[in-house]
């Protein structure tokens, strides 16, 4: 189940499959930042920041993402569920530990 060694490999697979997750326009619209660390070959963290039409800037929030073997990226849990990258990272570590216990890691 370990598909990717780094974020560049996920980005490449996503684009080759015809998806648009990493395109500049998409990132700009959501004011997205993509953290570079990949966990378990498939999980990574993004942050987004909402800006209202009145110019009000909300705090940056974090989302756990999962890339599959075909390059598709999906949110794990709710969009913008975490207030910090550290909080999202802890949840990823718990997910990986649960997968390991269930024998899913490394398949």
| pLDDT per residue as tens digits for the range 3-47 | 899 999 999 999 999 999 999 998 888 899 999 999 999 999 999
Of residues 49, 51, 57, 46, the one with CA closest to residue 85: 46
| 106 pLDDT higher than 60 | no
Q: Does the predicted TM-score (pTM) go above 0.85?
A: yes
With H, G, I as helix, E, B as strand and everything else as coil, classify residue 48: strand
**Model confidence at 103, in pLDDT bands (50, 70, 90)?**
confident
Residue 74 CB: number of other CB atoms within 10 A? 10
79-94 residue pLDDT tens: 999 999 999 999 999 9
Q: Which two tokens stand for residue 6?
A: 């780094």
Q: Give me the mean pLDDT over the 65-80 stretch.
A: 95
What six digits make up the tokens of 77?
């849990």
| Beta strands per DSSP E along 16-103 | 33-34, 43-48, 61-67, 73-76
């Amino acid at each position: 189940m370990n598909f990717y060694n780094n974020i560049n490999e996920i980005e490449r697979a996503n684009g080759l499959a015809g998806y648009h997750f990493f395109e500049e326009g998409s990132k700009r619209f959501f004011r997205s930042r993509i953290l570079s660390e990949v966990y378990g070959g498939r999980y990574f963290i993004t942050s987004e920041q909402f800006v209202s039409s009145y110019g009000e800037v909300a705090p940056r929030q974090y989302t756990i993402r999962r890339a599959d073997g075909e390059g598709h990226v999906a949110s794990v849990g709710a969009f913008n569920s975490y207030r910090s990258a550290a909080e999202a990272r802890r949840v990823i570590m718990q997910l990986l530990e649960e997968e390991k216990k269930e024998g899913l890691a490394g398949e």
